Copies of this chain bind each other. A is one copy, B any other.
Amino acid sequence: MEGRRKFRREGEERRRQDLIEATLECVAERGLQGATVRAIALRAGVTAGLIRHYFPSKEELLQAAYAAIMGRMTEQSKAALAKVAQEPRRRLAAFVEASLQPPVIDARVFSQWASFIGRASSDPALAVAHRAGYLGFRDEVEALVAEVLTATGRDAPKAELRRYAIAINAIIDGLWIEGCLAGDFFEPRELAEIGIGSVEDMLGLKLRQPTAPPLPPLDGEGAGAPTSPVFDVAVQKQKKKTP
């Protein structure tokens, strides 16, 4: 008696996107185990069989979802760079800051990341997807640091640059995890402050206006600090390498 379910034909790209999104939501809420074809289909508003029509197997849907989340994260951090295109130090600060605030800091995104990466160790396909996204992020950091060092007139031996990139990437990752897992333990901008301060310590120079107390409260739109490109050359304490 109940007739067949009504439906609409959506474009291929749209459906793929919807299915990927539904997958990520299921993963975030119930882990990889909860991302069954039926649960995904239900959330995407279709029936389970349709998944096989767009993805050869569930495995490939998961890979696509993982690639999507990795791309989204680096893209969000990079987006902060587009808005602040002037001074290298400011760019680096903006990058760190953007990485340590919503929407990059997000419990759901973290849950997805952890779920996937937990399996990336055993699944070769996910492993390569991970390594690509990861190195992309670190290269971004390294490029930013190189800009900063040359702009401040410091020579940058490749080995030292590498160490900076590794360390800065690490502290961003670590703070990101802390923020995602226990965001309620921190003041809204606390992690960003700590992150930028730590990077300043490591590089031995100031990234922001030296007299700005904790950065002005964000009242306008966007995640940007004030747009004035004025900088002091700042304290610029000499990095102590083995003398």
A194 at the binding interface (Cβ < 8 Å): yes
Q: What residue in chain B is nearest A32 (Cβ atoms)?
A: B33
Tell me, in angstroms, the Cα distance from A235 to B242 when the chains sit together. Answer: 11
A115 at the binding interface (Cβ < 8 Å): yes
Tell which of B121, B175, B182 touches A28, judged by Cβ atoms closer than 8 Å: B121
List A residues 150-190 near B (Cβ within 8 Å): 163, 166-167, 169-175, 177-178, 181-182, 186
User: A119 contacts B31, CB within 8 Å?
Assistant: yes
User: A178 contacts B174, CB within 8 Å?
Assistant: no
Chain B residues near A107 (CB-CB < 8 A):
121
List A residues 24-48 near B (Cβ within 8 Å): 28-34
Chain B residues near A174 (CB-CB < 8 A):
169-175, 177
Q: What residue in chain B is nearest A202 (Cβ atoms)?
A: B201
- One digit per residue, 1 when the CB lies within 8 angstroms of any chain B CB and 0 when it does not, for chain A 198-218 equals 100110100000010100000
Tell me, in angstroms, the Cα distance from A167 to B170 when the chains sit together. Answer: 10
Integer count of this chain's copies in the complex: 2
Chain A: interface residue total (CB-CB under 8 A): 54
List A residues 192-243 near B (Cβ within 8 Å): 194-195, 197-198, 201-202, 204, 211, 213, 235, 237, 240, 242
User: Which residues on A are within 8 Å of B, measured CB to CB?
Assistant: 28-34, 107-108, 110-119, 121-123, 130-131, 134, 163, 166-167, 169-175, 177-178, 181-182, 186, 191, 194-195, 197-198, 201-202, 204, 211, 213, 235, 237, 240, 242
The contact sample of 28 A-B pairs, CB cut-off 8 A, is A28-B121, A31-B123, A32-B32, A32-B33, A32-B118, A33-B33, A107-B121, A108-B121, A111-B122, A114-B117, A114-B118, A121-B181, A130-B181, A134-B181, A163-B197, A166-B175, A166-B178, A166-B194, A167-B194, A169-B174, A169-B178, A170-B170, A170-B173, A170-B194, A174-B177, A201-B201, A201-B204, A202-B202
